[in-house]
Chains A and B, each alone.
Chain A
Amino acid sequence: MKSNMMTVMKKELRRFFTDRRMVLTTLLMPGLMIYLLYSLMGQGFASQSSDSEDFKAKIQVMSLSDNMRFWLDQDSLPVEFTEISGEQEKEKALEALGNQDSEYHLVVCFPENFDQLITEYEVSSGLPAPMVEVYYNSSNTDSQSAYRIVTELLNSYESAMANKFDVNVGGEYDLASEEDISAQVFSMMVPMLMMAFLFSGCMAIAPESIAGEKERGTIATLLVTPLKRSHLAMGKVISLSIIAILSGLSSFLGMMLSLPKLMGDGELINANVYGMQDYLMLLLVILSTVLVIVALVSIVSAFAKNVKEATGWVTPIMIVSMLLGVTSMVESLCKTEPVWFFIPLYNSVQCMNAIFSLNTDMVNIAVTVAANICYAGIGVVVLTKMFDSEKVMFSK
């Protein structure tokens, strides 16, 4: 009678998919909402960045050589520069830029005797080329624009000079403090949002399907048939997971499609920083998280006398998981040792956080996915026991 599990699943899925309201609120809305939200946010960012025609990059330049001065002085270049000299002035300029209280967008440092170095440098010698440093602050959109303009200019000058010097090779030139970078902001926000979306998708269906059936006495009708309790539990959890995963996928898709817009189509940070592998990891984490959440919400729903009680009990759990989502914003709470990734929900948040900040750790993701699948399995066993318990199913 293994097919009875399929029969239950078919019924559950039919219940869901033939209900237009349910499909709309759990499948279409989340994706659409995220898409619209991110697209709007992205537009907001885009309109902030001053990429207009008459934008001029205001830069501070150190050790400007005569040739470069002559070249930069052309009126047609969108660059205004001020010269500085000495390590002390450089330090001060860098600090101001880093703290975002500089009137300049960039600090550019040439090596001493730049013209001479270039003339003497042989490309074929294999020695490192003279290097130009361009410091910027990615959390400031003007600094970003200026950085693009100036590196482009320098690169064209470089090719004109037959590759006799380099711009920004190795090292850290982005002076934005880490917390400032927009990607960091998203790695903080998205885990919390994603947890909220997954939970609400689950809350829309699981309490209804378990506490609701109990409340309305329809589950008792199932229990008088030869249907095995374990088949009922598995059928429920699997079909609910399918729906919740689709709901999660909807959010995920909405996010994938709107992330580039959010990132301003390469204005702030190129969306391409997230590769296919990152998305795949994210998907895996989301799938395993959905299983855990479905199992959790199902068990709570089975304990509850009715849907209202079930949603009442699930709400604090959802709030806790959103609070766990906030841990991605507090660096001291972002653990990287694999052992922390055995903690359900927290592990999902931290994995998403790591993926979005491009610090993906395969071991942690593997631990998360494996642990989550285990928890979901335990959940199914517990749920089976509950369906078998008259105290739970027929309590007065």
Chain B
Amino acid sequence: MKELLQVRDLKKTFKISAKQQKIQKTKEKVKVAVNHLTFTAYQGEVFGLLGSNGAGKTTTLRMMASLITPDEGDVLVDGTSVAKDPAKVRSKIGFLTSELKLEEFFTPNYLFDFFAELHGVEKGTAEKRKQKLFDKFQISEFAEVKVANLSTGMKQKVSLVISIVHDPDIIIFDEPTNGLDVLTAKVVTDFLLELKAQGKTIVVSTHIFSLIEKICDRVGIIIDGSMAVCDTLENLTKDKSLEEKFFDIYAERAGESYEK
């Protein structure tokens, strides 16, 4: 199988401002958010990054999407280095996190066209794709409503649709079902499976075990910025449920750092 996404020895430290030090109740001046992280996602599979809040999932995905630069290491996206050609990487991936927002003043219809234009999608193709995606996510009847007047779920669906205007082969979604009501969450989960069926390579991050169990082929458990375990879902859940396995590893790790 082709190694479509190679995350190699990624490291990212953040300076913590005085203000943040107070909020986080820490005296540390730097925070190692991602610590020598390595994993590979193969073509056509769904890779799940599982971790608690603050584990470093979003930071990792941001580096993969070239939004922030790693201190060390690199990411190869279909052979293109994020460090060397970030613009090309951006054109190859569809990236969605909850912090990426749409301008509230515009309508889904306009925004889809706008982002399609930025991605250089040909007009006719964009129009067809828009019809299909808007129908699938029931956006059509709200196509001319300003984003400001849409419900949270609808906004999220529009964001998702717009993140894939260019029909990318690699899709990176950060906590895609977070904050969605159960119905919308199911629509999103089903869509991810559909994309997988189309042969797309998908990386999702989440702290929800059931989502991983439902869609992932391979799982990386990330604790404190380091990869604790990385294996197929099948291997991980041979004897125990994913949830039990996670807490076992967590306890093991905590013990390790305790011994230090």
Contact = CB atoms under 8 A, between A and B. Distances in A.
B101 A217 contact: yes
A15 B100 contact: no
Given A226-B90, A394-B67, A216 B104 contact: yes
Contacts of B186: none
B16 to A, nearest CB: 9
A388 B20 CA distance: 23
Interface string B88-109: 1011000100011111111000
Contact of A226 (B62, B68, B91, B101): B91
A226 B119 contact: yes
B145 to A, nearest CB: 15
A19 B101 CA distance: 20
A91 B54 CA distance: 88
A390 B105 contact: no
A interface, size bucket: 20 to 34
A102 interface: no
A233 B110 CA distance: 21
Interface string B15-39: 0010010000000000000000000
Interface string A205-221: 00000000100111011
A221 B103 CA distance: 9
A74 interface: no
A90 interface: no
Contacts of A390: 67-69
Given A217-B99, A220-B67, A221-B101, A226 B17 contact: no
A156 interface: no
B90 A394 contact: no
B87 interface: yes
Contact of B115 (A19, A225, A396): A225
Contacts of A226: 87-88, 90-91, 118-120
A8 to B, nearest CB: 8
A168 interface: no
Contacts of A11: 114
Contacts of B100: 217, 220-221, 224
B59 to A, nearest CB: 10
A241 B174 CA distance: 37
Contacts of B66: 224
Contacts of A217: 99-101
Contacts of A228: 87
B87 to A, nearest CB: 5
A224 B66 CA distance: 8
B67 A396 contact: no
Contacts of A218: 101-103
A227 interface: yes
A113 B122 CA distance: 93
A48 B117 CA distance: 62
Contacts of B65: 224
A228 B118 CA distance: 10
Contacts of A227: 118
Interface centre among B62, B65, B105 (most CB of A within 10 A): B105
Contact of A7 (B20, B102, B114): B114
Contacts of B101: 216-218, 220-221
A223 interface: yes
Contacts of B88: 226
A217 B62 CA distance: 14
A160 interface: no
B67 A223 contact: yes
Given A217-B101, A218-B103, A225 B118 contact: yes
A276 interface: no
Interface centre among A19, A213, A227 (most CB of B within 10 A): A227
A211 B62 CA distance: 21
Interface centre among A4, A213, A224 (most CB of B within 10 A): A224
B126 to A, nearest CB: 13
B155 to A, nearest CB: 12
A127 interface: no
Contact of B17 (A14, A15, A396): A396
B120 A394 contact: no
Nearest to B162: A221
Interface in A1-23: 1, 3-4, 7, 11, 14-15, 19
A33 interface: no
B105 A19 contact: yes
Nearest to B120: A1
Contacts of B20: 396
Given A4-B117, A220-B99, 15 more contacts: A3-B117, A7-B118, A14-B110, A15-B105, A218-B102, A221-B101, A224-B95, A224-B100, A225-B91, A225-B119, A226-B90, A228-B87, A394-B62, A394-B67, A396-B14
20 contacts: A1-B120, A4-B117, A7-B114, A7-B117, A14-B110, A216-B101, A217-B99, A217-B101, A218-B103, A221-B101, A221-B115, A221-B162, A224-B65, A224-B66, A224-B95, A225-B91, A390-B68, A390-B69, A394-B62, A396-B14
Pairs of residues from A and B, 6 with the lowest C-beta to C-beta distance, nearest first: A217-B101, A226-B91, A390-B68, A221-B100, A225-B118, A224-B95
